[in-house]
Amino acid sequence: MAKSSADDAELRRACEAAIEGTKQKVVMSIRVAKSRGIWGKSGMLGRQQMAKPRVLALSTKEKGPRTKAFLRVLKYSTGGVLEPAKLYKLKHLSKVEVMTNDPSGCTFTLGFDNLRSQSVAPPQWTMRNIDDRNRLLLCILNICKDVLERLPKVVGIDVVEMALWAKENTPTVPTQRSHQDGPVASRVTESDLKVTVEKELVSQAEEEDMEALLGTYVMGIGEAEAFSERLKRELLALEAANVHAILESEPLIDEVLQGLEAATNCVDDMDEWLGIFNVKLRHMREDIESIETRNNKLEMQSVNNKALIEELDKLLERLRVPSEYAACLTGGVFDEARMIQNVEACEWLTGALRGLEVPNLDPIYANMRSVREKRAELEKLKSTFVRRASEFLRNYFASLVDFMISDKSYFSQRGQLKRPDHADLRYKCRTYARLLQHLKSLDRNCLGLLRKAYCSSLNLLLRREAREFANELRASTKASRNPTVWLEASSGSGQNANAADTSTVSEAYGKMLTIFIPLLVDESSFFAHFMCFEVPALVPPGGVNGGKSGYDDDDDDLGIMDIDENDSKSGKNSAELAALNESLQDLLDGIQEDFYAVVDWAYKIDPLRCISMHGITERYLSGQKADAAGFVRLLLGDLESRISMQFNRFVDEACHQIERNDRNVRQMGALSYILRFATLATRMEQYIQGQSRDLVDQAYTKFVSIMFVTLEKIAQTDPKYADIFLLENYAAFQNSLYDLANVVPTLAKFYHQASEAYEQACTRHISMIIYYQFERLFQFARRIEDLLYTIPPEEVPFQLGLSKMDLRKMLKSSLSGVDKSISAMYKKLQKNLTSEELLPSLWDKCKKEFLDKYDSFAQLVAKIYPTETFFSVAEMRDLLASM
């Protein structure tokens, strides 16, 4: 064949290098363009995608006596090097089709029967020209004929035309050689073109016959279409001859038809038999299904009966009342030794009643007659047991308290204070704590009467203990009674200076609280837990008042567990807390009277001890923060109010004593209550404890307010000496309270108030003395000041009474013998002053005030009368300093 530019030695070497290692020999390689068509509606390939350069290589591989043929597709890598892309086995080649939609005839497809998806259009290969196409297709057909001994279907190309092209483009005639396996076309290779000629498409004999056939016709290469039309007519004639031959074989066809009819009859019979068998099988299948249905129903009925028996057995077990529990609930005793049996019976009864309730019992059982009857029987057992247990506990509480009251050794006696001890009482009560828990779960209403019975009995014991303890406490406390009159004018000044020590009174009150407040808190806590109140712990961490309560019997721990965990975890219930406080009122009511008696007794001995008692009470009150110990807080609050009331009573009486000072008699010097207040305040400061500062400060405020108001009223009875009287008393107030005012803020406030009043009184009194001695001098200055508001300074000397002559007369009368006038001021200041220690400071104030006024006068005169000369300020200052 002629060599094409698409198939050259360099391309073949590149292909052999690409498949090196596969032991395959490249027979032919050629450049092509690959595109992929799209199946159209007519089944033809439609438009093509963009073509890609590829190389198709035909290769063979010897494997023993057989030879395998392959079609390889190679593509160019990024560097222009060929690399294998796809591999097809020619034994699967089933179709070679030249595309009719390509006018050049250079595009064809290869169909393989082993492709996975036949719905995908096969790739289309486009050659450069018809010669390249024919060379490739001819090589493929030769390999398929010689190696595979079969030819693929060829569509769109004339085989005869292909043979003619091969004849024209083959420069050598292939020779035939014998081989053991039969004739095989030898490969003739032109050394100069180095082109491998494929095996012949037809044998030598066939070629000679074809040439003889073609020789009968005179036509060139341009008469191929006429030749093709003639072949088609001859083919039709041949087919007609075949049909005629078939018609001539009619007897054979009749025999075949008879055989077919017999076979059809057999098939019909077989179909009828199969129909009969199908009906029988259907009936049999229905019978089997019916049997299975009945069997399933029987099995279900058996399972249901078994489950029903089990449920009935469980229900009967629930409904059964054990004889030992029934006897215990209806007629058992409540001795301590039998409490375990009673508790077990309660637990069983509680569980049985809950087991018959709807959440725990299937609702379909709830209305059964046997369940209703059993529930009624259990309710009757519950009411009987609750009634018997409640009656026993009420009598038991009363008997315990009666036994303790009848024994005088439990209480304080003459000469012996005894701390109340309820350890044995609580131990005996804790024996029945578990029983109370079960009574609550069975019938909550029964607890009301039990709580009242317990409160009533224990209230008698607590009041008896408090009364005996308070009586003996007062009898054993020795203290001299201090007078309640502190600020009365008629009492001597040193009457209260050395008051008796009454600290034992407040100590006795503190002992009363120390003993009984923890006791009452513990009793409240024990009562709340023992009587099953759903409230938090009553005693705060650390005990009462931040310390131990003094009772080591562990009263809060009842040694029981909550039956209902939900009850224990529920928060504070306002209704339950209100019920608890109401019961605590019944438990502890009346005991406050004995505390009041101790407070009143202490007040009579020393009213000022109310201050220390108030502090003690406030300290205990601040320690009671638990919500459930309400009554104890109320008791402490009432005690605090009682103490405050008694102390306010003392303050009011002292205020009345201040107001009762005689206003009709002229008062001289410092009043007595001014001097005594410092002693009273010092004593009150000694008694302050804890939070009683507010109480004392309120008393200070009331005292000093009344003192100052009364002082002003007394001073108004004699206006001539009012300022002297006020400054002496305010000075005495400051001198007596100087030390206390440095540490007590409230007294410091009144100290500053007295200081301001003192300064004002001093200023008024000194101004009066100065104007008395130098009246004309300062009146002349005042007239000038008044005129300066209306006229200029240079016109003042021309006013009536203000001329220079008038100025000289006034200076001569006022400043001649000025030293005598100043001495007269000093004598007048000393004359009516009763406190000699105040005179130096007052005289210094007087000289300073006079010098300031004279300085103002000198400046005014120098401004209005600049030519006049008079006694200078410096000379006046030296004169005052020398006196």
pLDDT band (50, 70, 90) for residue 31? very high
Show which of 124, 154, 169 is a domain's final residue: 169
Pick from 622, 111, 110, 564: nearest CA to 350: 564
Q: What does pLDDT average to over the chain?
A: 76
Q: Which two tokens stand for residue 518?
A: 């923890």
Of 280 and 228, the structure prediction assigns the larger pLDDT to 280
SS3 831: helix
Q: What is the DSSP letter of 183?
A: -
In a domain, 370, yes or no: no
pLDDT digits (tens, 9 = 90+) for 422-441: 888 888 888 888 877 877 77
Of 583 and 25, the structure prediction assigns the larger pLDDT to 25
Is-contact 93 116, C-beta < 8 A?
no
Q: How many residues does the chain have?
A: 883
Of 54 and 715, the structure prediction assigns the larger pLDDT to 54
Task: Count the alpha carbons within 13 Å of 754 in the hemisphere toward its beta carbon.
Answer: 26
In a domain, 220, yes or no: no
Look at strands 184-185 and 176-177 and give their pairing: antiparallel
In a domain, 132, yes or no: yes
Q: Could you tell me what percent of the chain has a pLDDT over 70?
A: 77
Residue 490 has what pLDDT? Answer: 46
Measured between alpha carbons, how far is 51 from 181 in angstroms, rounded to an integer? 44
Residue 824 has what pLDDT? Answer: 76
Q: What is the DSSP letter of 759?
A: H
Pick from 714, 709, 713, 757: nearest CA to 732: 757
Q: Which two tokens stand for residue 818?
A: 């000025």
Of 708 and 488, the structure prediction assigns the larger pLDDT to 708
Show which of 147, 169, 191 is a domain's final residue: 169
Measured between alpha carbons, how far is 817 from 829 in angstroms, rounded to an integer? 19
Phi, psi of 126 (to 5 degrees): -115, 125
Measured between alpha carbons, how far is 243 from 22 in angstroms, rounded to an integer? 53
Residue 217 pLDDT exceeds 60: no
In a domain, 146, yes or no: yes
Q: Which two tokens stand for residue 294?
A: 């009945």
Measured between alpha carbons, how far is 843 from 638 in angstroms, rounded to an integer? 57
Of 556 and 677, the structure prediction assigns the larger pLDDT to 677
In a domain, 478, yes or no: no
Measured between alpha carbons, how far is 654 from 477 in angstroms, rounded to an integer? 27
Range of the structural domain that residue 841 is part of: 722-882
Q: Between the CA of residue 394 and those of 421, 438, 443, what are the distances in Å?
A: 22, 16, 16
Residue 878 has what pLDDT? Answer: 76
CATH number of the domain to which 111 belongs = 2.30.29.90
Measured between alpha carbons, how far is 348 from 329 in angstroms, rounded to an integer? 10
Which residues have CB under 8 Å from 654's CB, separation 6+? 486, 487, 680, 703
Residue 189 has what pLDDT? Answer: 39
Is-contact 459 586, C-beta < 8 A?
yes
SS3 47: strand
In a domain, 22, yes or no: yes
Residue 77 has what pLDDT? Answer: 86
Of 275 and 118, the structure prediction assigns the larger pLDDT to 275
Of 289 and 624, the structure prediction assigns the larger pLDDT to 289
- Cα Rg of the chain (Å, integer): 69
Number of domains comprising the chain: 2
Amino acid occupying residue 514: T
Measured between alpha carbons, how far is 800 from 410 in angstroms, rounded to an integer? 104
Look at 239-253, 556-570, 642-656 and tell me which has the smallest mean pLDDT. Answer: 556-570
pLDDT digits (tens, 9 = 90+) for 747-793: 889 889 888 888 888 888 888 887 777 777 777 778 877 788 888 87
Through-space distance between the first and last CA atoms of the chain, rounded to whole angstroms: 161
Q: What is the largest CA-CA distance in the chain?
A: 193
Task: Count the alpha carbons within 13 Å of 99 in the hemisphere toward its beta carbon.
Answer: 27
Is-contact 99 45, C-beta < 8 A?
yes
In a domain, 240, yes or no: no
Q: Identify the bridge partners of residue 125 per DSSP, sorted by sequence position.
A: 34, 108
pLDDT digits (tens, 9 = 90+) for 795-804: 777 777 777 7
Residue 175 has what pLDDT? Answer: 41
Measured between alpha carbons, how far is 701 from 568 in angstroms, rounded to an integer? 52
Residue 187 has what pLDDT? Answer: 40
In a domain, 89, yes or no: yes
Mind giving me the DSSP string for 629-650? Answer: -HHHHHHHHHHHHHHHHHHHHH
Look at 207-221, 261-275, 289-303, 737-751 and tell me which has the smallest mean pLDDT. Answer: 207-221
Look at 132-141, 469-478, 706-715, 832-841 and tell me which has the smallest mean pLDDT. Answer: 832-841
Measured between alpha carbons, how far is 804 from 553 in angstroms, rounded to an integer? 104
Show which of 102, 136, 169 is a domain's final residue: 169
Q: Name the helix (H) or strand (E) containing 472.
A: helix 446-476
